Structure 1
């Protein structure tokens, strides 16, 4: 689940003027307090969402916003210290039978769409099926990987349905899988496992017409400018165990400079008091904000179940000695500095982060985060000291471009010239996911879809997806190792969690030995809110400030 970012040069003054039209007042306070009703929460984002169509959403910000609009079969209760999987649209977390190959869910009674019609199992089936259409691409791959017949199904727009999804009645849905998946009910907490009424499906334009069964619905949506959500009048607290409906509106403003947003929220002046951001604090601002005790009550630092990393395209950098030289040469201290330093996260040496099942403490390359230039030069000598000019793709934000410069300076130490190629962040991941991209290296980050290694390593390194998903391939290093692919298949069939975790830990080490990726940092994401924003809780699944219980203090 990758994070998308984009920036545009809109000043703090312009933001303040925009805020004046919609924000409401109230008394001061932190993120806690007694929930009150009313007002408009303003969300300041430097970028539009890549998608809000639930079957296409595959970003943290988009998924977090979708939680306010649509309901998946299951969801994460984050009101306690440890997230707990619960039924959301479904009455519980599902019932597995036949060795976890058949999963049955029963829908809650009384859940309604924004027009008052009842949500049915047929609506959920149709929602899941539309993800198979070529017009609805970019979302998670699990449905096509696991549902019987999914690899050949082309979606409901062909006039056909997927027989492995059964709806014996209006409140029951059954999924038939081609392999045991013990954590399938964690998959169904993602937005793609939500209901879409066929009559209101607008296909590829559904991003701006999402039909709500959650607490808020779209009033207006102008891409790259503004999204306004208002209360869904047919949502009922009695049917929803995860969300509240406290504010009257959520007004999301896009295309604002990241530093200007940070400074406005730091100042906590005027209508900024009723605002929050969803994108991380700029790297240039993070160290100062992280250490400012006056901001502590409205500063959210959420350890992300994920990794910031650099991909090395093995089809373009073919000599593994050169790739290993790059591994040793990268100065992670300089790269981390671009993202905000120590406050951003610890240095990474693996693709699985500490705390995740399967994590194995291991370092294939330099023990010094500043790199080992001597070792790197020796490897380049073994490769014949080729005179290389390589490209590295980064997003066109100051934070990312500074990180690109750090990578270029690192590799200049071993005679490799690097051209930093900034790409508009609104199209960054779709550009890199396209197998026709021409970049030698690329910055990436990844957050686990749920806390399991199966949502990290196979998604990022199973080479079979390169051909299967040419427009939405996640294997940006283009590693396609038959032994590793086979290892993924074997791990997926393991029902004992300890055995499976050990297998993924070994696969992590095997992947790193191929020098197709440079782990950079284990991430934390940081955001600010205004002092009159209450009810915000940390979402450790998405590494976002959750708005499920948000309210404005009066």
Structure 2
């Protein structure tokens, strides 16, 4: 790590070494030879992304897609060595701000970011990406039409962001003119463009992870043309503008994407991406992991979009160089309770009911579903291993980790809520249906009926569980989303804050169940203002313990990502936060 990077703690640096990917060798070693130009990369999968607007992207799939056409100030480099993906590196920024180079003030409250030249939008004519475009990107995080799931990171960190966002919330969410008028007519005290090539950020207090926040896809530059559209609306989705190596040439909602080379992009302006294939074709609508796997093995497709390798195929693929198990320390999936649901007399708002249901789950069955103990480990904490603030704990132990239905029944009876009936929407891609069915059986053993509802078309995150009105109406009671941290290394806030800070509950919030505990909020604030990462980690651990005492969720699995590529894919390098290979850096062998 000879470049200027954020320094991680010794423990996390050691962890990164220990999480080097296994299986399939390392195409980045040079064994694939020099890159070949041309061809169409064929990606096949199930569901469309929940948001295409970078301001509101939320899923690993959306992160991987956004990276192709939307650039941020800082970023990470794809690699099959987990440790190499952790450091923050320059993207549109010419260098990483540090105290040593004078771009971070002595008090840690002012950051100056200098942009590299000749980064261009694919407008006609092409024009430069400016500091003002990044200011626009930050302002769009709080738009009322499709607010960012990550806005709490910035509200709690940047001076004036909270007031700006509060005012933005009062603007008509269906009027793009009103949205752009507010956005362009109000400033954020802590974000300013000093000139076209210089950004200055003012923080409320020092934040050791601020550079990580500048690398998240929400903060991508936004061209002025976006002011004409409703954020993430249908019209917006047909008019995305690119400053990355590829541009979206054709988008058929729920069906397909065609990305072609962006003529305005130049390799010498982009240290994180490359460009080898001519086109990237993403075809959606295939819910069967087995069918996707078959297509890749037969050469009809090159990569899976949102499907892991089917569990039945893993044993025979162990020694196949095209197969890999990549580490993505995560909480995926977990069972979340809708604490705002009026169903069952508001039972899920009762902590004792949720505690009873903690004993229902047979994690050993879930591990078998996803591929066995080499692929997943049982998880009993909010923060998974491999993330800042993790401490092993199990507040609801069961024999062999296989559940304790008798205790679950007993505690539900004592809480006065036996015989619950719960609405359980589930994702249809990957193994999520099998996971939902397994959880349904676990709950039935406790005397709880779970009514499964297939949630197709990419609406699971975008509307079903991320819409407070649906939660309050009782349209769902439990769900099994997943969470991969937004970054690794110094990432304490990347789990607790977005998932459990009740103060930011609202549209697009990832605090799906509406959990709100002032004690947890206070611990979040204490961690964010802690004088060092060791102290912050202590507060994150305490928050984890309190959340589990309240049984806001049932952690299920810390799951590695299984991935397979066709015989013609070369140069595949993994992005843990996108749970996939970096499309911009791979190339295709001749057929």
The TM-score normalised by the length of structure 2 is 0.83
1:268 equivalent in structure 2:
298
**Contact 2:527–2:539 (CA under 8 A) maintained in structure 1:** yes
Corresponding residue number in structure 1 for 2:329: 305
| Distance verdict in 2 for CA 1:343–1:402, change over 3 Å | same
Q: For residue 339 of structure 2, what is the aligned residue in structure 1?
A: 314
Report the 3-state secondary structure (helix = DSSP H, G, I; strand = E; otherwise coil) of the residue aligned with 1:378.
helix
Residues 62 and 486 of structure 1: CA distance in aligned 2, closer, same or farther (over 3 Å): same
Report if the CA contact (8 A) 1:262-1:281 is conserved: no
Give me the whole-angstrom Cα distance separating, in 2, the residues matched to 1:458 and 1:363.
21
Name the structure 1 match of 2:21.
Answer: none
More off after superposition, 437-446 vs 75-84:
75-84
Return the alpha-carbon distance in structure 2 between the equivalents of residues 200 and 489 of structure 1.
Answer: 34
User: What root-mean-square deviation, in Å, do the aligned CA atoms of Structure 1 and Structure 2 show?
Assistant: 2.2
The alpha-carbon distance between structure 1 residues 91 and 496, as it changes in their structure 2 partners (threshold 3 A), is: same
Task: Give the structure with the larger strand fraction.
Answer: 1
Q: Out of 469, 472, 494, which is 1:455 matched to?
A: 494
Residues 137-188 of structure 1, C-alpha deviations (whole Å, 9 max, x = no match): 2442123333322223226432413232111111001122223222111111
Q: 1:145 to 1:431 in 2, by over 3 A?
A: farther
Residues 372-426 of structure 1: CA distance to partner in whole angstroms, max 9, x if unpaired? 2343233234324623222222123473222222112112222222222322251
Q: Distance in 2 between matches of 1:304 and 1:398?
A: 17
Change (3 A) 1:328 1:139: closer
Counterpart CA distance in 2 for 1:399 and 1:552 is 29
Q: Distance in 2 between matches of 1:543 and 1:400?
A: 16
> Following TM superposition, by how much is the alpha carbon of 1:552 offset from its aligned partner in structure 2, in angstroms?
0.7
The correspondence of residues 181-200 of structure 1 with structure 2, limited to 5 A, is: 181-199=207-225
| 1:407 partner SS | helix
Q: Is the 8 A contact 2:370 2:376 kept in 1?
A: no
1:426 to 458, 468, 474: 458
CA distance in 2: counterparts of 1:314 and 1:163, whole angstroms: 34
Match of 1:162 in 2: 187
What stretches of structure 1 move > 6 A for 4+ residues in a row? none
Asked whether the 8 Å contact 1:242–1:548 carries over to 2, the reply is no
Matched, 1:65 2:65: yes
Change in 2 beyond 3 A, CA 1:400/1:78: closer
* Conserved? CA contact 1:32–1:535, under 8 Å: yes
Q: Does 1:401 align with 2:433?
A: yes
Distance across 2 between alignment mates of 1:101 and 1:519 = 36
CA distance in 2, matches of 1:478, 1:37: 49
Q: Tell me which of 376, 381, 385 is aligned to 1:350.
A: 381
Distance 1:297 1:206 in 2: 40
Secondary structure, in 3 states, of the residue corresponding to 1:392? strand
CA contact (8 A) 1:290 1:343 kept: no
What is the alpha-carbon distance in structure 2 between the residues aligned to residue 258 and residue 157 of structure 1?
A: 45
Partner of residue 129, structure 1: 139
Distance in 2, matches of 1:544 and 1:54, equals: 18
Kindly indicate whether the alpha-carbon contact (under 8 Å) linking 2:248 and 2:258 is maintained by their aligned counterparts in 1.
yes
Q: What SS does the aligned partner of 1:502 have? A: helix
Count of residues in correspondence between the two structures:
516
> Could you tell me whether the CA contact under 8 Å between 1:110 and 1:118 is conserved in 2?
yes
Instruction: Indicate the residue corresponding to 1:147 in structure 2.
Output: 158
Which of residues 115, 119, 140 is equivalent to 1:107?
Answer: 115
Q: 1:126 to 1:484 in 2, by over 3 A?
A: same
* Alpha-carbon contact 2:148-2:218 (below 8 Å) kept: no
Instruction: Quote how far apart the aligned CAs of 1:97 are.
Output: 2.1
330-339 vs 360-369, greater mean Cα deviation? 330-339
Question: SS at 2:465's partner residue?
Answer: helix
Gaps spanning 5+ residues in structure 1: where?
1-29
398-407 or 183-192: which moved more? 398-407
Q: 1:281 aligns with which of 301, 308, 311?
A: 308
Q: Out of 481, 505, 529, which is 2:541 matched to?
A: 505
Q: How has the CA–CA distance of structure 1 residues 260 and 373 changed in structure 2, closer, same or farther, with 3 Å as cutoff?
A: closer
* C-alpha contact 1:126 1:156 (8 A) present in aligned 2: no
| Superposed displacement of residue 319, structure 1 | 3.3
Equivalent-residue separation in structure 1 for 2:37 and 2:305 (angstroms): 22
CA shift digits 1:452-496 (9 cap, x unpaired): 120101211111122xx2x12222232211111111111110131
Match of 2:517 in 1: 481
Correspondence for 1:209 among 205, 228, 239? 239
Q: Does 1:386 align with 2:418?
A: yes
State the TM-score, normalized to the length of structure 1: 0.88
2: CA distance, partners of 1:33 / 1:233: 26
Q: Would the aligned equivalents of 2:146 and 2:508 in 1 still touch at CA under 8 Å?
A: no
Q: Deviations over 1:492-550 (max 9, x none)?
A: 10131111112211211111011121110002222222110111111123322222311
